[in-house]
C-alpha cells in the first residue's frame, strides 16, 4: 500500500508530464531575419495588432504583427 509521500510524488510527476505535453515551443522569424524561440504558441491581441509571448529565458515579448515574417512550431 502506498503512503501519502508516494502519492504526492506520483501526483506531482503526473502533473508535470501533463503540463509539459501542453507546451508548444515556437520559432518566430522577424522580417529582418531575427529568430526568437518561445515557450508556447504566441497569443494575438486583435485590438492592438500585437503578438505576445514568453521567450525561453522567461522574458515577456510583445511584437507588432507587421514585424513578423513566420511563426512555426518546433
C-alpha cell at 12: 506531482
Q: List the domains of the chain with CATH numbers.
A: 24-73 (2.30.30.100)
User: Which pLDDT score, from 0 to 100, does residue 64 have?
Assistant: 97
Rounded to two decimals, the pTM is 0.66
Q: Under a CB-based contact definition with an 8 Å cutoff, are residues 55 and 32 in contact? A: no
Across 3-7, 9-13, 21-25, 42-46, the highest mean pLDDT is recorded for 42-46
User: Which pLDDT score, from 0 to 100, does residue 17 have?
Assistant: 46
User: Which pLDDT score, from 0 to 100, does residue 16 have?
Assistant: 52
pLDDT in tens, 26-57: 999 999 999 999 988 999 999 999 999 998 89
User: Which pLDDT score, from 0 to 100, does residue 50 have?
Assistant: 97
* Residue whose C-alpha is closest to residue 70's, from 41, 37, 27, 39: 27
Amino acid at each position: 500500500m502506498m503512503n501519502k509521500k508516494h502519492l504526492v510524488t506520483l501526483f506531482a510527476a503526473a502533473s508535470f508530464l501533463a503540463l509539459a505535453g501542453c507546451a508548444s515551443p515556437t520559432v518566430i522569424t522577424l522580417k529582418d531575419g531575427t529568430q526568437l524561440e518561445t515557450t508556447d504558441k504566441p497569443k494575438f491581441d486583435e485590438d492592438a495588432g500585437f503578438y505576445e509571448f514568453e521567450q525561453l529565458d522567461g522574458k515577456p515579448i510583445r511584437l507588432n504583427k507587421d514585424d513578423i515574417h513566420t511563426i512555426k512550431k518546433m
